[in-house]
Structure 1
Amino acid sequence: MSIWEKSLLLILLRQQLESERTTDWQVLHRRDRGWALAQPGQPPWQLLRGWLQQQGVSPASGTTLFIYGIGVAAFMSGFALMAGLLAYQPFQRINLLWFLLIALFLPFVWWLLALFFTGAQVPFPLRTLYEHRLPQGRFLIPLSALLKQTVVALGQHLSLLFAGGMLIAFLLYLLLTDLAFGWSSTLDLGNDLIHQITATLAWPWQNLWPDAVPSMALIEQTHYFRAAPLAVEQPVLYGQWWRFLLMSLLVYLLLPRLATAAWARYRLSRMQERVRQNDALISGLWQRLTSELIDQEAEPVEQREPSGQAVEPATHPDRYAQIICWGVWPDTLLGALREQLLRDGTETRWIAVDSATTQDASLAALDGLPDQPLLLLCKGWEPPTGELADLCQGLAGQRSRLFLWPVPLPGMSEARQRNLIQSWQSFMRQLPDSVHLTSGHLPQAVMHG
């Protein structure tokens, strides 16, 4: 699977999982785990693509062909630009100044501008070229960074192919034709200025390949004037510029793009892995695909005997100074919870944490706040994850009183809610003593809405 197909796969996965986020976790677990057991030995990305296909959402098979097509177009554009520069020979000479301007300076400036917009905190100029072509929905918001990095990596990939086309065309013309280079200008630039410019450009390879550094004699003898014929006494001098131009294309055109394209692909690959592992919905899918079904499948939750080691859940304090909402929630449930918990009008800080990135930022923000009671909301219908345990460990180091509330699904019976609390006891044993398990009633608007 290509790196571009992985980005498309994550977008389609997020869209599909967004439509299922209100479905009971156990129902999804039985469905997804049963399917995964019939797919042995598949790598993670192939397994996720197979799951998406069996849901009736097939990733676009033409993605690779489309990337290949625009790559060929970029390569041929670079080839055509260089061919035009070398084939257009007024007075039978290729003007060195035009060559440096069009083949080196302008592409190098364009590369620097691309680096600036990639790294600087400014609005991304290519946003309008791709965002309006994507399907609309909230599922794209958590993937905005992935979308930007995908476009950046694709742009660097095409830029590298463009530079490769220019270099291949230069080598072919160098091999198959007799190129004559010289320099001329209406302005009296002078041999010293041209020598200074070329010496500066040739500084990176002056010790590696001294013959590729133009001498003053070469500059003086290849300076031609209007309508002047080629010097017949030393015609070979007009071909000596090829070494300098070849190294200039390698150093200022190809190698920078090779480095940035490799770096952009590496960053995109790392970001794709982070999204696959840390996104709340996609990591939940992976957990359902890989985790074993528990005994609850054969015995209803309401009929299980309560454990003798269960700890009585704590009651809610009068108010919370900080509330953290873990994961991606249904809008109706989350809105009603906010209205219930913030109804007294006190200054309660509400923080949403849906990924490892926002988790680190939230811990850093809480570190500067007073040590006051903190409520951590999590979806009780989903099993606890390692990321949730890490978050609790980090919060326990900052707060002396931390309350964990696994919120039940709307419409869940009182008996099942009690068993839900008991099912979290084993998870609570992994956490510090300052973390207390609590329970509460859902707002009536959610229960009957």
Structure 2
Amino acid sequence: MSIWEKSILLILLRRRLEAERTTDWQTLHKRDRGWFLSQGDSNPWAVLRAWLTQWDETHRITATLFVFGLGALALALGFLLVAGLVEFLTFERINLLWFMLIAILLPLCWWLLALFFSSAQVPFPLRALFEHRLPPGTFASSLRPLMKLTVVALGQQLSLLFALGMVLAFLLYLLVTDLAFGWSSTLDISAAVIHQMTTIVSWPWQQLWPAAMPTMELVEQTHYFRAAPVVTEQPELFGQWWRFLLMSLLVYVLFPRLITALFYRYRLEQMQGRVCESDALISGLWQRLSTELIDHEAQPVEQRVRKSDRAITEKLDKSYTQIISWGTWPDEIIGSLRQQLGADLSLIYWRDTDSISAMESTLTELRSLPDEPPLLLCKGWEPPTGELEDYCSELSKMRSHLFLWPVPLKGMSDERRQLLIESWQAFMGQLSDRFHLILNPLSEESRDE
């Protein structure tokens, strides 16, 4: 699977998993674990792609042909650029200044601007073409950085192929034709100025290939005028510029793009790995696929739940001024909770910790707020995780009293709800004594919604 298909796969996975957020975790676990055991491939990317194939999404992930077509186009455009410069002859001589401006200086400036202005690496036509490969509709904001870096890396690869096409065209014309280079300008530019300029340009390879550095004699003998015939004692000097121009194309056009293309490709691979690990929905899918099913009826409840003297609050107080929601929530549930808890008021501090950066920023902000009991909202239809335990540990260092409410899912059976309550009660035994568990159901108003 290509690196571009991996990015599209993650985006499509997120879309599919968004539609299943309100489905009971145990139901999904049984379905996905049973499917995983029937698969023979152990490669994570192949497994995720095969899982998505069940929902008739696989035809959307074939980006190889699309990227190949763009690459072939970029290669051809680079080839045609140099071919046009070489074929556009003036008195059978190629103007050195014109060639360096179009084939070397402009591509170099384009590359530098793309480094300093990241938006220049994500031009609208390229981004629109890439998004056209996806199903209609917007995708999660948490995957926007992945989308941007994917397009940047693709742009760098196309830029590299463009430069490669230029070098290939130059080498081909060098092999099959007798190229004659010279320099001419309407302005009164002396040969010494041209020699100084070419010496500066050729500084990177002066020790590696001294023959590719133009001499003063070469500069003087290849100066020509439109109104005067070429007069030179050594006409073969007109062809000696090829070494200088070839090294200029390699050093200032091809090699910089090769470095940045490899760099952004490496960054994209790293980000794809981080998305698989940090995204709650995608990592949750892999957890369901790779972990064994737990039979809740195999052991009595008394053996699974560790008894604790921890206080349990049955009533939900509406006076919380600091509220934190853990993970990514369905809009209809989080909307009713905000209304029920009065989060629309300006005096209420409410933060959604749906990413690693959001978790870190929330912890930083809480340090500057008064020591008031915060309310931590968790999805009560899912079992608690080790990541939540770590976050609660950080919160307990900043507050003397904290409340944790595993919000139940509307329509959940009493048996399933009781099993989850027991798992949350056992989880509280792993937290600091500063935490208090709330087992209050959703209000009637929220249920009606």
Q: Same fold (TM over 0.5)?
A: yes
Assess if the C-alpha contact under 8 Å between 2:383 and 2:423 holds in 1. no
More deviation in 130-139 or 321-330? 130-139
Assess if the C-alpha contact under 8 Å between 2:82 and 2:170 holds in 1. yes
* DSSP-derived class of the 2:140 partner: helix
How many residues in Structure 1 have an aligned counterpart in Structure 2? 445
- State the match for 1:339 in structure 2: 339
CA offset at residue 413 of structure 1? 5.3
Assess if the C-alpha contact under 8 Å between 2:382 and 2:420 holds in 1. no
CA offset at residue 97 of structure 1? 0.6
- State the match for 1:129 in structure 2: 128
Separation (CA, whole Å) in 1 of partners of 2:26 and 2:2: 33
Deviations along 1:53-82, whole A, 9 cap, x unmatched? 022222435410111111011111101111
CA offset at residue 21 of structure 1? 1.0
CA offset at residue 285 of structure 1? 0.9
Separation (CA, whole Å) in 2 of partners of 1:304 and 1:411: 23
When residues 12 and 79 of structure 1 are mapped into structure 2, their CA distance, relative to the original with a 3 A threshold, is same
- State the match for 1:258 in structure 2: 258
- State the match for 1:326 in structure 2: 326
* DSSP-derived class of the 2:324 partner: strand
Separation (CA, whole Å) in 1 of partners of 2:201 and 2:214: 10
Deviations along 1:27-49, whole A, 9 cap, x unmatched? 11110011011124511111110
More deviation in 191-200 or 27-36? 191-200
Separation (CA, whole Å) in 2 of partners of 1:279 and 1:51: 17
- Structure 2: which amino acid aligns with 1:129? A
CA offset at residue 130 of structure 1? 4.5
More deviation in 258-267 or 61-70? 61-70
CA offset at residue 209 of structure 1? 2.1
Q: How does 1:29-428 map to 2 (within 5 A)?
A: 29-60=29-60, 62-118=62-118, 129-130=128-129, 133=132, 134-137=134-137, 139-231=139-231, 233-296=233-296, 304=301, 307=305, 309-315=307-313, 316=316, 319-342=319-342, 345=345, 347-412=347-412, 416-428=416-428
Deviations along 1:149-172, whole A, 9 cap, x unmatched? 111111000000000110111111
CA offset at residue 311 of structure 1? 4.8
When residues 116 and 344 of structure 1 are mapped into structure 2, their CA distance, relative to the original with a 3 A threshold, is closer
Gaps of 5+ in 1: none
More deviation in 432-441 or 371-380? 432-441
Deviations along 1:397-449, whole A, 9 cap, x unmatched? 32232222211111335665444222123433433333333222213233234
More deviation in 365-374 or 163-172? 365-374
Separation (CA, whole Å) in 2 of partners of 1:294 and 1:344: 40
CA offset at residue 386 of structure 1? 3.0
Assess if the C-alpha contact under 8 Å between 2:338 and 2:344 holds in 1. no
Separation (CA, whole Å) in 2 of partners of 1:191 and 1:43: 63
When residues 24 and 220 of structure 1 are mapped into structure 2, their CA distance, relative to the original with a 3 A threshold, is same
CA offset at residue 331 of structure 1? 1.4
Give the % identical residues.
57
When residues 123 and 184 of structure 1 are mapped into structure 2, their CA distance, relative to the original with a 3 A threshold, is closer
Separation (CA, whole Å) in 2 of partners of 1:169 and 1:343: 64
- State the match for 2:19 in structure 1: 19
Separation (CA, whole Å) in 2 of partners of 1:190 and 1:260: 37
* DSSP-derived class of the 1:424 partner: helix
More deviation in 216-225 or 315-324? 315-324
- Structure 2: which amino acid aligns with 1:394? E
When residues 124 and 324 of structure 1 are mapped into structure 2, their CA distance, relative to the original with a 3 A threshold, is farther
CA offset at residue 106 of structure 1? 1.0
CA offset at residue 136 of structure 1? 4.3
CA offset at residue 139 of structure 1? 3.3
Separation (CA, whole Å) in 1 of partners of 2:82 and 2:346: 68
Assess if the C-alpha contact under 8 Å between 2:340 and 2:446 holds in 1. no
When residues 331 and 311 of structure 1 are mapped into structure 2, their CA distance, relative to the original with a 3 A threshold, is farther
More deviation in 246-255 or 375-384? 375-384
Gaps of 5+ in 2: none
Assess if the C-alpha contact under 8 Å between 1:313 and 1:421 holds in 2. no
Separation (CA, whole Å) in 1 of partners of 2:87 and 2:130: 40
- Structure 2: which amino acid aligns with 1:309? K
More deviation in 128-137 or 241-250? 128-137
CA offset at residue 52 of structure 1? 0.3
Assess if the C-alpha contact under 8 Å between 1:18 and 1:139 holds in 2. no
- Structure 1: which amino acid aligns with 2:391? L
When residues 180 and 124 of structure 1 are mapped into structure 2, their CA distance, relative to the original with a 3 A threshold, is closer
CA offset at residue 267 of structure 1? 1.3
When residues 311 and 86 of structure 1 are mapped into structure 2, their CA distance, relative to the original with a 3 A threshold, is farther
- Structure 1: which amino acid aligns with 2:307? Q
Cα RMSD, aligned residues only: 2.6
Separation (CA, whole Å) in 1 of partners of 2:152 and 2:90: 39
Assess if the C-alpha contact under 8 Å between 1:153 and 1:265 holds in 2. yes
When residues 376 and 387 of structure 1 are mapped into structure 2, their CA distance, relative to the original with a 3 A threshold, is same
When residues 219 and 14 of structure 1 are mapped into structure 2, their CA distance, relative to the original with a 3 A threshold, is same
- Structure 2: which amino acid aligns with 1:404? L
Separation (CA, whole Å) in 2 of partners of 1:207 and 1:124: 39
More deviation in 33-42 or 8-17? 33-42
More deviation in 47-56 or 339-348? 339-348
Assess if the C-alpha contact under 8 Å between 2:191 and 2:216 holds in 1. yes
